Amino acid sequence: MTVRPLTLEDMPQVMELERDLFGADAWSERAMRDYLGASGSYFVVDAVGSVDAVGSVDAVGTAHTAGLVDAVCPVDAALPRDDHAGTPALVTGYGGIQCLYSTAEVITLGVRRNQQRSGIGQSLMNHLLDHARETGADEVLLEVATTNRAALTLYESLGFHRIGLRRGYYQGDGGDAFTMQRSLT
Ligand SMILES: CC(C)(COP(=O)(O)OP(=O)(O)OC[C@H]1O[C@@H](n2cnc3c(N)ncnc32)[C@H](O)[C@@H]1OP(=O)(O)O)[C@@H](O)C(=O)NCCC(=O)NCCS
């Protein structure tokens, strides 16, 4: 796993993943870019940085994922480049947090469908928590759908607790969200 700060070259893949994972509740590209430029924002991606790696993901992935890769990487010249390897990068997950004063808030977190349950979400969250701690935040807040078993289990395993319920929080299906909090002190 290679977690690194998100670059603008990652954005097409990140937006594809955001729309695929969150549907009607996905952040728009404009909102995401606003967050990227906002004070206290920090975004990371988990990326596999080689052509072979892209092939191996395709090999274990679904037709949908193969199509996704084609869609965001239609020609070689358009492929995002991993700074370290100098080879095409496939974004397997991404996350963002905003750290303002003593409270940090998770903006988004997502892992490519065929890469889920391999530790990427946990790794991304740990990077975001480390960053929040380094900025001096005392606590981290997030919202998560009450029906999102995977995310709830992940967050609880990382020490988050439910502190509130926001009814009709999600625009897409009108679903409820738990507000979760984790202390960093
Ligand atoms: C939630 C999400 C980010 C988790 O990422 P992930 O890389 O699959 O999670 P990890 O592999 O790091 O899992 C870490 C732990 O979380 C829990 N977990 C993750 N997915 C789970 C699932 N589907 N069911 C139950 N527990 C799950 C487990 O405790 C897991 O540890 P284990 O595999 O040793 O049992 C991913 O499922 C996802 O992108 N979902 C769609 C987008 C989303 O809901 N984002 C969160 C919005 S608040």
pLDDT in tens, 76-101: 333 444 444 555 689 999 999 999 99
Give me the pLDDT at residue 87, please.
56
Q: Which two tokens stand for residue 138?
A: 């005392």
Confirm whether 143 is a catalytic residue: yes
What is the residue-averaged pLDDT of the chain?
84
Ligand 1: residue whose CA is nearest its atom 40: 110
Q: Report the b/e string of 41-74 with b at 16+ CB within 10 A.
A: bbbbbbbbbbeebbeebbeebeeebeebbeebbe
| Regions in the chain scoring below 50 on pLDDT | 51-84
Active-site entry in 16, 29, 143, 169: 143
Active-site entry in 155, 156, 169, 170: 155
Give me the pLDDT at residue 75, please.
29
Give me the pLDDT at residue 146, please.
98
What is the phi/psi pair of residue 16, to 5°?
-60, -45
Contact 155, 185 (CB under 8 A): no
Domain extents in the chain: 3-141
| Spacing, Cα 77 to ligand 1 middle (Å) | 33
Would you tell me which CATH number, out of the four given (3.40.630.30, 3.30.56.10, 3.40.30.10, 3.40.640.10), belongs to the domain 3-141?
A: 3.40.630.30
pTM of the model: 0.85
**154 ligand 1 Cβ < 6 A:** yes
| Spacing, Cα 76 to ligand 1 middle (Å) | 32
